[in-house]
A = this chain, B = another copy of it.
Amino acid sequence: MTSKNLLPSWQPGLARDAILEFIERVTHPESLDFVPQEQRIATFDNDGTLWPEKPNITELVFLKDLMRFDEPRSLPIGAGLRQKIKHWLHHIHDELIEDTSLLIKEFRDGISTDEYHGWVSAWLEKAVHPRFKRPYTELTYKPMREVLDLFQQAGFKNYLVSGGSCYFIRPWSQQTYGIPPEQVIGSRLVTRLVDKPDGLAVEMAPVPWFLDNGAGKVLAIESQIAKRPVAAFGNSSGDIQMLRWAGTSPTSLCVLIEHTDDIREYRYSPGDDTLAAAIAHGWTRVDMLRDWQQVFN
């Protein structure tokens, strides 16, 4: 396989070269930078790195839709969630729906993770992005899926490390990204084990347990993977520490995705602190407008 056939959605240029050269350096047996397969760990932010985060983070759109849910569609929801939705429908106002703390904590209280997974899958089958009018899972970035495939073929174990909840990504990560649920790390509420008549269930409690963002991403990687990534991809300030952590590996690739294309996607700054870190640490910067021939499939 020649490098011409690799990453076909990428424009020839510095970013594409940096990725391909990195893969060659860490996998070629005679390379001085050779990395043994068990150390080939790559971590990827999700929102804004693998799929859009505008106009809103998809999980928040999902939670708002859930709260506005108006009986009875053919969605597989249990009695607990149905009752909860009825309660919310009668008691909430639109401004409350904008309260992300309510959305994330109180609304999920007592919902089992299995039930939540079922709802996510059902919602994703019907929901469409407000601007692109396509299902969200069809709107992952094609160039980044090529990167995931390239890394996997090169013997890497790819991990998703998201500021969103792991419970929102796990139902579709395997099919969409080729990443199994056990390689999805995310924010979490406290959970509790409940002995129900039909068996044991793991339910969410309205207590934040872990915020997988900023330094939290490093702590989660250390805690769950217990290996330092040699490659990391992110797009915002919540990814700075993860990219810095990967950057302390002897050989590493740290990539910042920059949203520069308001025609095909969105245009917004990663923030001054993120740009300063990218410059200070010499990260590879991806300019969506220039570096990607195609954004979506």
Binding site for B on A (CB under 8 A): 38, 113, 157, 166, 170, 174, 180-182, 184, 188, 191-193, 199-200, 202, 215, 218-219, 222-227, 241, 244-245, 248
Given the complex, which residues of B lie within 8 Å of A181, measured CB to CB?
Answer: 225-227
A193 and B170 contacting across the interface, CB-CB below 8 Å: no
A200 and B170 contacting across the interface, CB-CB below 8 Å: no
Report the Cα distance A223→B220, complex, angstroms: 12
Which partner residue on chain B sits nearest A174 by CB separation? B38
A226 and B193 contacting across the interface, CB-CB below 8 Å: no
B248 and A166 contacting across the interface, CB-CB below 8 Å: no
Given the complex, which residues of B lie within 8 Å of A224, measured CB to CB?
Answer: 182, 224
Given A182-B225, A224-B224, A226-B184, A241 and B38 contact (CB-CB distance below 8 Å): no
Contact of A113 among B184, B199, B222 (CB under 8 A): B222
Which partner residue on chain B sits nearest A171 by CB separation? B226
Contact of A193 among B38, B184, B200, B218 (CB under 8 A): B218
CB distance from A36 to the nearest CB of B (A): 12
B226 and A166 contacting across the interface, CB-CB below 8 Å: yes
B199 and A219 contacting across the interface, CB-CB below 8 Å: no
B222 and A202 contacting across the interface, CB-CB below 8 Å: yes
A38 and B180 contacting across the interface, CB-CB below 8 Å: yes
Report the Cα distance A199→B157, complex, angstroms: 24
Residue pairs across A and B with Cβ atoms less than 8 A apart, 23 shown, are A38-B180, A113-B222, A157-B182, A166-B223, A181-B225, A181-B227, A182-B225, A182-B226, A182-B227, A188-B223, A191-B219, A191-B222, A192-B215, A193-B218, A193-B219, A193-B241, A200-B218, A200-B241, A200-B244, A200-B245, A202-B218, A202-B219, A224-B224
Report the Cα distance A180→B41, complex, angstroms: 13
Given the complex, which residues of B lie within 8 Å of A188, measured CB to CB?
Answer: 223
Given the complex, which residues of B lie within 8 Å of A192, measured CB to CB?
Answer: 215, 219
CB distance from A192 to the nearest CB of B (A): 7
8 A-B pairs besides A192-B219, A193-B218, A224-B224 with CB distance below 8 A are: A38-B174, A182-B225, A182-B227, A184-B226, A200-B241, A200-B245, A202-B218, A202-B219
Which partner residue on chain B sits nearest A244 by CB separation? B200
Report the Cα distance A170→B222, complex, angstroms: 11
CB distance from A18 to the nearest CB of B (A): 22
Report the Cα distance A257→B199, complex, angstroms: 24
Report the Cα distance A227→B215, complex, angstroms: 27
